[in-house]
Amino acid sequence: MFRLDHKIALVTGGGSGIGKAVSLALAEQGAIVHILDLNISNAENAVHEINATKGIAFSHKVDVSEQQELRSVFEKIGKHDILVNSAGISHIGKADNTSAEDFDRVINVNVKGVYNAIYASIPLMRANGSGNIINICSIAAHVGLNDRFAYSMSKGAVYAMTLSVAKDYINEQIRCNCISPARVHTPFVDGFIAKNYPGKEAEMFDKLSKSQPIGRMAKPEEIASLVVYLSSDEAGFITGSDYAIDGGFMKLNN
């Protein structure tokens, strides 16, 4: 079950964090994986890991916020079956202390980046006769989080785009779903804690972990496993759905 042999997958932000875990998991299930990342070194390292286990992967340096740059890469790759939009950035701030520059930066990556990838992908999927788009969203699209104004806004847009794309292309056999994680333990989290809470790293890690009722953060591999399922033929009846993978955060935090 859940094999992806002969399928071609594109993963934006696939060189680190959740995106890297997704790239590795898709390759392990037999997919040919194209890793698109602004940090080409990260992308190449992920490709090396995949190739070392006899998987097949390729790296591409690309800025998802630049539509023509992204389209050129997609057209070069050509036919593909799966698109995973994982590229994204975070931001800390409320409405009255988020600068216009930071607001635009979050929109350009988290919103326009997803739109640009979908825009480039749909014609190729249409020509192929089917396709599967998976967007990495967030619980921030659904619940109020402290000091995450711009980030929450951007993930709300990703959720809305997921529904719209699923509706618009259902008759062309193009599915679109999204996944909404709570906190995921990635190098970004460790860096954030070290930068903002020097000397209190262990205390803050424990506090952030326990904000999920299950008592810990998610592992990137757990998000990747859900991506694998949604990418598979076994999930062929699923479109227009959002999957919370949040350790009970949205329903059990009371």
List, by residue number, the catalytic residues.
151
Question: What gap in Å lies between CA 25 and CA 209, rounded to an integer?
Answer: 24
Question: What gap in Å lies between CA 65 and CA 105, rounded to an integer?
Answer: 9
Question: What gap in Å lies between CA 211 and CA 192, rounded to an integer?
Answer: 16
How many CA atoms within 13 Å lie on the side-chain side of 208?
Answer: 20
Residue with tokens 């979908």: 118
Closest by Cα among 16, 18, 10 to 36: 10
Question: What gap in Å lies between CA 182 and CA 189, rounded to an integer?
Answer: 12
Q: Please say whether the beta carbons of 93 and 76 come within 8 A.
A: no
Residue with tokens 């993963």: 11
Per-residue burial over 73-85, b if 16 or more Cβ lie within 10 Å, else e, is: bbeebeebbbbbb
Pairing of strands 32-37, 56-61: parallel
